[in-house]
Homo-oligomer: A and B are copies of this chain.
Amino acid sequence: MKTEKIPYKIYLSESEMPTAWYNLRADMKKKPAPLLNPATLQPMKAEELAGVFCEDLIAQELDNDTPFFEIPEEIRSFYKMYRPAPLVRAYCLEEKLGTPAKIYYKFEGNNTSGSHKLNSAIAQAYYAKKQGLKGVTTETGAGQWGTALSMACSYFDLDCKVYMVKCSYEQKPFRREVMRTYGASVTPSPSMETEVGNKILAEHPGTTGSLGCAISEAVEKAVTSDGYRYVLGSVLNQVLLHQSVIGLETKTALDKYGIKPDIIIGCAGGGSNLGGLIAPFMGEKLRGEADYRIIAVEPASCPSFTRGVYAYDFCDTGKVCPMAKMYTLGCDFIPSANHAGGLRYHGMSSTLSELYDQGLMEAVSVKQTDVFEAAEYFARIEGILPAPESSHAIRVAIDEALKCKETGEEKTIVFGLTGTGYFDMVAYEKFHDGEMSDYIPTDEELKAYRAKLPKVN
């Protein structure tokens, strides 16, 4: 352990960057439940997934045993353009809060996609290119994933087709424009381009779309287009694998200074950031080498962990995807229109769901006005304008630091600051103007969605 003062920002050198992704599942005694083929209700085999996903990614998706996957040299080169991401000691925030807690955050916003999503986007684009594909399709909600994938595809000269949830497409023209800068084509979803889009539009003529809907369209487009596959920015095991680079860097940086966290906090929508951040720490926990409090933070308006059920469900609204066992609100659930930003998926990563079910992590939900209050507070003190998603973790990190203030405990808190909010100023404006409200679904609403879960459970 070094005794020198811990700097504001801990940057690893390039030689300290991870050379392999860590597969958390390898250390789980009880593995996450497999994806099911909705027709046969049997676990999906690699060959059944081959029309949808890239080959190497399917192998990563289904592999519950290999602990490390080497990061290909081309991806490591790309990582070096924007990584290592700094682990920041929040000295100013600590001082302002007057807390004895020590607060660190892993900042993943220092790249043009504005979030951690690029870590997996570049990996997925690489494997698509390796397979000789022409391009990939995907969906995007808040727009971070679509932007990240556009950048990655541009780097590998792949075609990139993004279905963007219509309300987001209309409210965030600048997000769309960044994707165009990277050469992607962006279609508002639901669209007339797909059968499922036409069907949804016929049933709900005025709909502004949903993530589940856009997923269905992107999958259909991939499987019906020659030389295309579908890629996804969260939820899947392969995505958590790629995102382990966040946690591995965090752990190396902490170890360098002999710091052992007490609490690790991350926001959770589909689970990509949280799963990546906690990976090596949860690994130690699973192997009985160390213990940490791990907290998932989700929006009160889309509370899959805290108010969902652990059951098999469809991953998309159009029910064209395999079924996954996860904490879910039901695949028809769409968060209230006043919900700002991402973290709006109805389910949660199978891996994280299983870990949560085993009691290895906690979950809390927070109201969005409380989230934006924390966001603005943080921006003014730490000088980074956070994304609404990331601000969920900030909220709980501040709450935990304030508890330490009461008890006098010098806990070490690490949280994931997944990205920046430059494209979320409409939401900030609503907050400033006092026009932001909170919507928490009622028990009756949730019950109605739950009743529609597939019969397999």
Contacts and interface: CB of A to CB of B under 8 A. Distances in A.
B155 A432 contact: no
Nearest to A375: B181
Contacts of A154: 380
B14 A7 contact: yes
Interface in A269-315: none
B80 A8 contact: yes
Contacts of A173: 425, 429
Nearest to A177: B425
A183 B380 contact: yes
A383 interface: yes
A151 interface: yes
Contacts of A180: 428-429, 432
Contact of A182 (B11, B14, B174, B379): B379
Interface in A1-53: 7-9, 11, 13-14
Interface in A391-446: 420, 422-423, 425-426, 428-429, 432
A360 interface: no
Interface of A: 7-9, 11, 13-14, 77-78, 80-82, 91-92, 110-112, 114, 151, 154-155, 173-174, 177-178, 180-183, 376, 379-385, 420, 422-423, 425-426, 428-429, 432
29 contacts: A7-B13, A7-B14, A7-B80, A8-B80, A8-B81, A77-B91, A81-B92, A81-B382, A81-B383, A82-B383, A112-B379, A112-B385, A114-B422, A151-B380, A151-B383, A155-B383, A173-B425, A174-B174, A174-B422, A177-B425, A177-B432, A178-B385, A178-B428, A180-B428, A180-B429, A180-B432, A181-B385, A422-B422, A422-B423
